[in-house]
Every structure is written in C-alpha cells, then in structure tokens.
Structure 1
C-alpha cells in the first residue's frame, strides 16, 4: 500500500473499564473496582483493544500510546506492533487513574491527528475534559453502559471507521458525551447528564445512536399491556431471567414483586429466585433448571439488546440459554425508532448465533418482526 501521508493515531486504553459488568456492579467507578476484583472480575478492555487493532487493515498510520496496559502492551500484542512510534511516559506501576487518562490525552493533543480510546462513558468524560473538541476521537466500546453517541458498534466497527478516516472517507461531526451517576445507578435510580461534545468521524452503519428515554401515560400503559401478556403466558415451573429496564420490570410490578430496575433478576412461580444476579449466579440457575427463558428489551434509540448495561448476560450465559428461549419486548414508541436491533457480547461466535429475525412483543399479544444483527467485517 502506498501512503500519501502517515496519520498519527493516539491510542489510550482504560484497562479497568467494563470489569464490573459481568459481576453485576454496573460500572467500575470508585469502590466498585475493588468489589469487582473480589468477585473475580477479569479485565475486558485490553482484549477489546487488541481486537480493534487486529481488525485494522490499513498501513498508513503510526501509533502514539500510553505505557503498560493503557496502550503499549495491547499494541505490542497486536499485528501492528511495528507501528508504535512513541510511548508517552509518566504512568507508574501503580493502579492507573482517570488523571492518567486526562494527562496523557492532553499531551497527545498536539502530537496526533486523531485519538482512539477504549473504555466507557466515564472514559469519554475524561477524554472530553482533556481535549474538548480540539481533536477528533474514535470510541471503542468497552464499558458497561455506553450511553454516549460517540461509540462505535463494536471494536470491528471502530477499526473500519479509523481505516475510512485515514482514507478520507468520513465526515467529522459533534456527538454528545453522556454519563450516569453510578452510585445512583446501583440504587436503581437513573441520573443521566450531558457533559459536552466530542468530535468524531462518522460513516453510515458504524456508530451507535445516543440513548433515548420515553415517558408519558401511553408509554406506561403500553408497558403494562406487555407485562400482562407475559404474565398470563408464563410457565409457572420455568425460571424467567429478566433483563434491565422499565419495560421488562413491569412484569415484576404486575406480579407484585420488588425487582431491580437496572439489574438482572430471576423469577420462578411468581416469586424472586435471584435478585440483582451476576454471571455466576445465572450460570447456577442454568445448571439447576432446563428451558430457562430470558426477557430483554432494547436500549431506546440505540437498539442494543446485549452488550450495553447487561453484561451479566455473558456469552456463556447466552450460549446456555439459546436464542429460541429469548423473549424480546419493546414499547411501540421505542421499536418505531429502530430499524434493527444489535448485539455486542464480546464473543463474535455468540453474536453470530444470536443474529436473525425475532418476534418482538410490542403490546398485548401483538408482535413486530425485526432483525437482530452484529457488526462484522
């Protein structure tokens, strides 16, 4: 490949982003990181970073990155190890912090043409604090929530987006940075705030939309009708795993149960079997029961049913459940905005297994058929 110009790419990895997802902590801010370690959580971002780099099929760039697991180690493990131009020093062997991300991003501001970061909404906030809109960014999703509209669909989409940016095929737009108060989130309270905007290259089909929230009497009545139908058709001897979201948790309200709004719960025979479950607990349920059903709803505006805010439903859990036991529900206003639904479980084979057309329950006994897709090259 002949390059007219070598694009300088900044690369920052938040090595702890997303670790709280599978263990049911809904993030890794503050003390949640230590609790995640106690529950046996494993790093997510380093592998997602390597997947992104290995999927990048373009030679016209060089990499400026942070030391250790904040970028250097991931680059060295990838097919693009020879593209490493500079490591920005200054991070010790201690645990890295958001101040490290901010400082390194600020230093990159005058050195690179574009900054790629791997993390979640909290990392996006740190990048915004460091560079504002002075530099375009590409966000590789590796957090728990990722409500911001700057994230690509998955690491493979991020690689294709960077390749198209290098080739001059993208346009630069301003996209919103959103984040949620994790402490409130862990207490079933949603407190989303817009922190600002970042510039990002855009190409059709590669970047997710921002999260939408729906409200109103008609919306609540629609949720109630969906819940009524689910409850009336439930098998009393089958466990039902209920994903996050008010559409799904209306089922608990109909049954008179106090479930978590933003966690994953398991109900059986009109009672709660496991409340606010994480991966290991769900695997235990699947070991003890056959034919377990899973009820999920897509994130409004984005369309993700797996991989955003419900990582307790891990690839292993989903493989054991099987696609035929997945029930998707969505209000009519939510589904009206979505052309298709998405999965980003972190395992391409499981993503592929989940693809296809599903009947989505949109009201009492009413369905809409919609395609579930994952992004691949």
Structure 2
C-alpha cells in the first residue's frame, strides 16, 4: 500500500501578537514575546496531527527542523524526513519567511500528497509565492488574522480532512483565495485586504473556511437598534467589548472611544480599559461578574479565535456560556446559508462545551436562535 506523503510546516511565530493586543505578528514577534506572548502554532498543529495519529503507519511526514515541524512529528511517533535546517543563527522562535519558502522549495521535490501548514495569512502568502497552485495545501489556523480561504475552520477540522484523505474518501480539490492585510494599517484600525492569488485545497465546505467578508455593515439603523438593545439591558457588571464594527456600534451609541480591532472593557457605561491583552483581561475580571459582547466574522461564522485571541480559554470559562452576548445583523446570518457559528478558542474541550443554541441579538428586542457547533467536533 502506498504511504501518504504529508508535507508539514509550522510557523512558530504565527499568532504571537494576538493575545497581547498587537493584532498580528509581522515584524513584532520580539515585542510580543516581551509582553508575555506564548507560541501557540505548534500546539494547534499538534491538535490536527493528533486526529490523524491512528493512521501514522500509513504516513511519511516531510518537514523542516526543530519547531518548524520535525520536533512535533517525532514526538507524536510519525515517520519523519527533514529536508530543511533552520537558517544559521536562527532559533526556533526566530524563524523567518525565508525558512518557510526554502522548506516549500525542498518539499516540491518530495512527491507530496498534501502540504499541511500552521500559520496565518502571512504564512499562506509565503507558501503561495513558491507553490502557486501546483500542490494541494491545507492550513491549520494559528495566526491572528485569517482572511484566506485556504484554512480549515479549526485545527481539529484540518485533522478530520486529512483523515478523510487517508481513508480513501472522495475529496475534490478547489481553488481558494490567498488574502492578506496591511498589519500596520490594521493596528491603526483600518482593514486593507488584498487578494494575492489562489492555492488548491480539499473541497470540504463543512471544514474549510470561507474568505472573510470585509467592510462595515451598510445598514446603520440596524446597528443602532442592536446597540440600543444591549445598552438597555446593561447591568452593574463589567462588559468586555470585542472587536468588529457590529460590536463597535455599542460604543458609538455610548459616545465612547472604541478599539475597532481590539478589545475594550466598560463598567457603568464608562471605559475601564482600552485595547487590553489576555493577561489584563484576567486581572480585570478577577472575582467580578462579567459579560462578553462579541460578533461573528462575516462569511466565516467564527465568534472566537479570529482577531480576538485576547479572549483566552481561561477567560471564557470564567465568564461562562450564559454570559456571552452575540450580536449580528440578519444579513450576516443569512450569508452563512445555514452553516453553524464556529468557536476556535484553542481548547477543544471548551469549544465542545460552548456548542448549542444561542439567542443572537439582531435588533432592538429582536432576536433569533442560532447554533454554535463545530462540524469537526460533532463528527470526530
């Protein structure tokens, strides 16, 4: 039986800036680490590989040295071939785009069945610059911003898709957009997304995310109604205000400054802290009743794990499922075409616990019930 040849690349720096409020990791990795950020990309790839570990006897993994893939693959007991050594002078926490591109070039000579990589939009761009659409790829989401359509909806979902291939299920390929944004502009509250091209990915719409829909909601009256409903029900508690234009409408109605692409905290309709990090949120909410106000990513349906990594699993557990307030226009919900909302907190057990039907605020005293349910967790 022919063994499945799986290319593996981990960008150890991916997502470092998320939990510390830097809205990305491009050119700010050292600053993120100095603020206490911890590398998560390896852990997220481990979630994906754990799903396919039962098939390890069928798989040959081809990868780069150290934390770019070799260490994790060996730890999990896979057959491993290393085709690239991290650049001289680089540590595992200081790999570069050059390492990614050189690894991809080496992998092109290895007759791969699939390239599995962990990173964000920048990593996808680096890989695209080498492979174009000549090799099937699948991304394990590990970055702060995931606009591209080449990623699975969660790390676990990536593992499910690979396991489908290993079991011989008929999986077609489709072209998916590689997108990225200007992080400097992003940190200043402006989203400038650009399409760079396409790569081939497994065509499994249950498990592969859509390209993010950008832009502010057109219907300002609907946003004002949603905001008015939230404000009308505010109690003497802390309110964590998540990112996104739908949630920003609450702050606009209160005439408060808002970190559009970050997380703010208010109490008694006044700002307590702006653009906070994950650790700051844990400190602020210690022993205090707290509610979380969030919205979904247009086109994708994620409510946690995309652009709001400041909302750590520890924080979500502390707040509790019943204290999560989800805001969305009916237009955004209809655009999902019945697909459930997705949670990708980094803790699969928490993601499973958060499943269920939620009351989504869609206007003033106007609500719909909508399901949060990761398809990969339902079927794995």
**Could you say which TM-score interval applies, normalised by the shorter chain?**
over 0.9
Equivalent residue for 2:187?
A: 186
* Contact residue 50 and residue 77 of structure 1 kept, 8 A: no
Q: Which moved more, 1:158-167 or 1:275-284?
A: 158-167
The alpha carbon displacement at 1:288 in A equals 4.9
Q: How big is each residue's C-alpha offset from its partner over 1:23-45, in whole Å with a ceiling of 9 and x where there is no partner?
A: 11111111x21111111111101
TM-score normalised by structure 2 residue count: 0.93
Which residues of structure 2 form unaligned runs of 5+?
A: none
Equivalent residue for 1:266?
A: 265
Equivalent positions of 1:95-110 (< 5 A) are 95-110=94-109
Equivalent residue for 1:121?
A: 121
- Are 2:48 and 1:49 aligned? no
Rounded to whole Å, the distance in 2 between the matches of 1:143 and 1:216 is: 25
* Contact residue 165 and residue 201 of structure 1 kept, 8 A: no
Rounded to whole Å, the distance in 2 between the matches of 1:250 and 1:79 is: 50
Q: Which moved more, 1:88-97 or 1:327-336?
A: 88-97
Equivalent positions of 1:9-88 (< 5 A) are 9-30=6-27, 32-56=28-52, 57-58=54-55, 59-80=57-78, 83-88=79-84
Q: How big is each residue's C-alpha offset from its partner over 1:239-280, in whole Å with a ceiling of 9 and x where there is no partner?
A: 110000010011111011111101000011121101001111
Rounded to whole Å, the distance in 1 between the matches of 2:156 and 2:317 is: 22
Q: How big is each residue's C-alpha offset from its partner over 1:191-237, in whole Å with a ceiling of 9 and x where there is no partner?
A: 111111110112241111111135564x22211110111112212x2
Equivalent residue for 1:313?
A: 311
The alpha carbon displacement at 1:130 in A equals 1.3
3-state SS, counterpart of residue 162 of structure 1 = helix
Q: Which moved more, 1:331-340 or 1:12-21?
A: 331-340
TM-score normalised by structure 1 residue count: 0.94
* Contact residue 109 and residue 134 of structure 1 kept, 8 A: no
Q: Which moved more, 1:152-161 or 1:124-133?
A: 152-161
* Contact residue 342 and residue 373 of structure 1 kept, 8 A: yes
Which residues of structure 1 form unaligned runs of 5+?
A: none
Equivalent residue for 2:330?
A: 332
Equivalent residue for 1:372?
A: 372
The alpha carbon displacement at 1:87 in A equals 3.5
The alpha carbon displacement at 1:285 in A equals 1.6
Equivalent positions of 1:249-264 (< 5 A) are 249-264=248-263
3-state SS, counterpart of residue 287 of structure 1 = coil
Rounded to whole Å, the distance in 1 between the matches of 2:86 and 2:77 is: 25
1:301 aligns with one of 299, 302, 321: 299
3-state SS, counterpart of residue 147 of structure 1 = coil
Rounded to whole Å, the distance in 1 between the matches of 2:311 and 2:283 is: 13
* Contact residue 98 and residue 126 of structure 1 kept, 8 A: yes
Aligned length: 368
Rounded to whole Å, the distance in 2 between the matches of 1:181 and 1:228 is: 33
